[in-house]
Structure 1
């Protein structure tokens, strides 16, 4: 058994016992299986209603590694998807769980190896303990690639900048299998869910896999992580998230925009933020990029709002009314990129206007201003909104994914959810193959063992 999944006998070594200590004949309990040839990682994918699924109504999926080789590298892993929640399965969820099974796990941190000198994994040296608390008590992952990736991300050279691990889902002094939410919002390896399109396979996560010693990582495939970029070594600390020194955090409970500006948000905290407050996407109809969210209400028209695929959330107090007090809130307006961190904005009834990053503009026919976010929009060639199937994100304990009920989901289930699940897994593996391969092979193979049979990738 691995978790609550029975491994097929054909994949296991034989088992025999001697009835008595002086017996010369053994009793065979299981004959040796044929094994699975020419495969680097074996994934057991099960869709079922397990005791864990029944006990935790919000549980979507959970995962674990099952067996490792002599170097500590996982050879097999299990991903269990709760049958009742099949229609909420997404590629991001499967990637999150696969990453746990492949080595991003507190149970495997101590087995990572250093292959910076030797190319043969058998000659690599153990890294030993790679997790330590920094001077503030923040548990961090200290390995070379992770440290370098975080220093580049924050534009800081502090040697204590190891990869920050979540405090809230670990015992006192213990270690989490997730990144710290205050510092790495948007990473696929967070413990808490995010809104649609907000999860990325970020440079820090790929750096962690580079430091396992088991994989060769194509870092050019890393996806952009906006949160905290260039904010310095103190970003996200409990000492600075309250002092308005960073626009990524907020105070109070007012309305505004999620940091990626795809959604309207409200300034809130949660169990993973240690009291810090951020703009979290509103529960209902918060996506500016969905045309169907346009209500045509008097308030929206007075604020000049426009919804659609090119629309993003902007802090604004625009109004057609002559108010003495104009409250800044999150509003949806069209945008189009004109360069790196350069864009134009269009509100209802206006022409396209340049919106200087970090500044603000006034619109003819309106009172108030539109505030132009700096280093949040038009940062790479792909400025498109999320696809309709990217609306479920991983969270939970190290070996499980808990998802809150999400009425904002735009995911449209296929006629057969099992088929959708298989496609999600295949798409997730496709993502991994582009950026992650075993150090001992040039053409790595993953085999999925599912209830319906064997699927070769």
Structure 2
């Protein structure tokens, strides 16, 4: 009778089960304490089916975090191996884990093998791991008294694209642990005699956790051809799910860690949580044939495994072998007579795999060798395999031009080098947004072997930053290649333009005029906007009278078409790109949205100010602004430069909120001079941007007690915003004449009568995109 079965019920838009059901046969439930572990394992097994470990769900598996579908051919491999039909899960994480489990890294067809049925001819995908090689893993087809929750099943969950896995919670699957490629790929008749048995009798289980017996049996008819291991076709193991492999199976009262396990008098057996099963001939009363016995592994060193036999500690070498145990008397075939007693030979198994399993040697990222050293898995190194190997070039880690950070596996390149392996020289970069902060300014190609740029036609300079050819600057000025622009009229016609930087007393596009250009006076009133235009490489000049340096002043330039920049000064009436940098204010080049600004930071209030606008962040006052000899009170001169021909608007703001009402959603200057302190649920310079929960009040992260300004930016949703947890839109509603900000949640987060958490779009609703019914049990 079926012990239990389960199925997913509702699926979301990505095919992920979001509800399911599990059914248990009432006549199979057992409330006794001895069955608890098995019954809990069965329940978790069925929940795992409902969550996605189901052949019906495999086709919907996706790349990480609900990414694109893998495609069935990248999920399942159907093939024939060992003369039987085989289906494998071949997704990346599963492949990685099975290679590591069996220490088989050159396994070309690696994958998590699925159960292939009693005949070995199943051509359909199963919903269980193949028991022959996974045995007590909790997702094999039969219940286990000691289910193992392994990293292999966690890997399948992660490869579904619907979950992330915490591998630190995985248990070690001792079956086949580090046994090599033969175990993973061959028939069980080719395994070691610790696993495969051909005669009946008592023996330790392969995992050494219990005393057991060979489950060899003779059937009334022939075993399926693919599972025959003897000349007698009716001879095989008792478990069809294990492909009829005759294996050493633990007695129900043979667990070495159990308190009720049977022991044999005179063998010095110890039952404990660290006990393992050994083949022993030890006796205090005469000779004994090899018998499974339980002894406690006290600890491991780099060269030996220390085992407690009775009251005696025995040092087992890593390579295994026979050791003497004093204190046991009797006639033994492996002992030599010495005076009044015999020294018994105690046969140690190879200790390296036991020590690695019990103590997680080699950081769990390598295999402990019999000499005590670690053979690291691919991609790791270090004495304990804890370091990640960094990229190499020509076999040299970090190409010899950087240092490897073993905790991340990333190279920290020396100055002048770049690339994953630090194998490439960095070509020159101009620190200017207009040149994209990239090598060769996006105007040429970089040779990583030499670190030099090959410039496109029309560009020069070590970083391809120069466009020479200013239109006749003559003797009255010089060409500034850094403000040049290249225009492509056709493939055969290129026009290059740089800008002229005129000498003192000369003006104009070509520095031919001695007549000072017209200057327009701007008004500081936060609202008077001047609309202008400027030709490519030309200037238009402005001035504004500043009566005080106590308040912040911002000159704002918005290029409606083209690209214009601001150069400004207190001392130079006609500031240009060539003006002395020490006395020139230049608009922030990081801006890419046609908005340029120069902010003069005054001395009013506390710093920093302008906290809602990166552009106007004042960390300290501008010396040129607050010093009366060169700054306010006085004129501030502004040159608008046409990097390309531009139509623009320019205006001057003072203190952001001095003459504003903070949109009736805040108080000006409450915390910082000239800065709106917004009411809760509003943000922005003028408190006109709605801000929904959760906010710093919910996160207990407010920068100022009583304010709604967060110390840090916290993002929890897909929209990279805290508003509505990224699962909705913050919308303004007018209720009883008052504007209020509320979340309008996405459909997957919308409730008719939401709770507080639901109103913030925090809690998804069960998706019922469609319901799929399943009729067959697992």
TM-score (norm: length of structure 2):
0.38
Residue number among 9, 15, 25 corresponding to 1:66 in the alignment: 9
- 2:324 paired with 1:376: no
1:359 matches 2:302: no
| Alignment correspondent of 2:213 | 266
CA distance in 2 between counterparts of 1:446 and 1:333 reads 54
- The answer for the alignment partner of 1:134 in structure 2 is 79
SS of equivalent residue, structure 1 residue 355: strand
In structure 2, relative to structure 1, the CA distance for the partners of 1:352 and 1:338 (3 Å cut) is same
Tell me, yes or no, if the aligned pair for 1:255 and 1:265 is still in contact at 8 Å.
yes
- 1:394-420 deviation digits (Å, cap 9, x = unpaired): xxxxxxxxxxxxxxxxxxxxxxxxxxx
> Paired residue for 2:95?
147
Partner of 2:735 in structure 1? none
Say if 2:150 is the partner of 1:205: no
2:157 is the alignment partner of 1:179: no
* CA–CA distance in structure 2, aligned partners of residues 291 and 79 of structure 1: 33
Tell me if structure 1 keeps the 8 A contact 2:90–2:112: yes
Deviation at 1:378, TM superposition (A): 6.0
Aligned counterparts of 1:333 and 1:277: Cα–Cα separation in 2: 26
Mapping of residues 294-373 of structure 1, within 5 Å: 294=262, 300-323=264-287, 326-339=288-301, 342-348=304-310, 350-357=311-318, 358-366=320-328, 367=332, 368-373=344-349
Distance 1:95 1:341, change over 3 A: farther
- Aligned residues, how many? 319
Q: Assess, with a 3 A threshold, how the Cα gap between structure 1 residues 305 and 142 changes in structure 2: closer, same or farther.
A: same
CA displacement 1:256-294 (0-9 Å, x = unmatched): 1123323111122311122322221113x2122233435
User: C-alpha displacement at 1:112, in angstroms?
Assistant: 0.9
Q: Is the 8 A contact 1:341 1:378 kept in 2?
A: no
Given the alignment, which residue of 261, 266, 275 partners 1:293? 261
- Shifted more, 356-365 versus 95-104: the winner is 356-365
User: Is this contact kept in 1: 2:102–2:184, CA < 8 A?
Assistant: no
Tell me how far apart the structure 1 counterparts of residues 322 and 193 of structure 2 sit (CA, whole Å): 18
Distance 1:134 1:233 in 2: 18
Counterpart among 106, 114, 122 of residue 63 in structure 2: 114
Question: Could you tell me how far apart the structure 1 residues matched to 2:145 and 2:249 are?
Answer: 8
Distance 1:149 1:164 in 2: 12
Determine the C-alpha separation between the residues in 1 that align with 2:269 and 2:133.
32
| Rounded Cα–Cα distance in structure 2 between residues aligned with 1:200 and 1:164 | 17
Provide, for residues 108-149 of structure 1, a one-character-per-residue CA deviation record: whole Å limited to 9, x for no partner: 11111123xxx5x3x523422422233413221121111121
Of 118, 125, 130, which residue of structure 1 is paired with 2:69?
Answer: 125
- 2: CA distance, partners of 1:347 / 1:234: 33
Q: Distance in 2 between matches of 1:292 and 1:86?
A: 19
2: CA distance between counterparts of 1:255 and 1:444?
A: 57
d(CA) in 2 for partners of 1:162, 1:314: 32
Write the distance in 1 (CA, Å) between the matches of 2:258 and 2:213. Answer: 19
CA change 1:309–1:222 in 2 (3 A) is closer
Distance 1:70 1:145 in 2: 23
Q: Would the aligned equivalents of 1:132 and 1:140 in 2 still touch at CA under 8 Å?
A: yes
| Aligned CA-pair RMSD | 3.2
CA distance in 2, matches of 1:218, 1:93: 21
Shift of the 370–277 alpha-carbon distance from structure 1 to 2, 3 Å rule, reads farther
Q: Note the C-alpha offset of 1:248.
A: 3.4
Do structure 1's residue 216 and structure 2's residue 164 form an aligned pair?
yes
Shift of 1:93: 1.9
Which residues of 2 match residues 25-36 of structure 1 at below 5 A? none
SS of corresponding position for 1:369: strand
Distance 1:361 1:92 in 2: 39
Q: Which 4+ residue blocks in structure 1 deviate beyond 6 angstroms?
A: 439-447
Deviation digits for residues 314-349 of structure 1 (CA, Å, limit 9, x no counterpart): 1112223444xx52221122331234795322333x
- Shift in Å at residue 160 of structure 1? 0.4
For 1:2-81, what aligned pairs fall within 5 Å after superposition? Answer: 56=1, 59-81=2-24
Distance 1:288 1:231, change over 3 A: closer
> Which residue pairs with 2:244 in the alignment?
275
Does the 8 Å CA contact 2:182/2:190 hold for their aligned counterparts?
A: no
Q: How many Å separate the matches in 1 of 2:191 and 2:153?
A: 28
SS in 2 for 1:242: helix
Instruction: Give, in angstroms, the shift of residue 60 of structure 1.
Output: 3.6
Aligned equivalents of 2:765, 2:26: Cα separation in 1: 23
Normalising by structure 1, we get a TM-score of 0.62
Are positions 1:103 and 2:52 aligned together? yes
Post-superposition offset of 1:446: 11
Q: What does residue 3 of structure 1 align with? A: none
Residue pair 1:231, 1:246 contacting (<8 A) in 2 also: no
**Distance apart, 1:380 and its partner CA:** 3.9
Q: Is the 8 A contact 1:226 1:376 kept in 2?
A: no
Q: Aligned partners of 1:327 and 1:264: how far apart in 2?
A: 15
Structure 1 or 2, whichever has the larger Rg, is 2
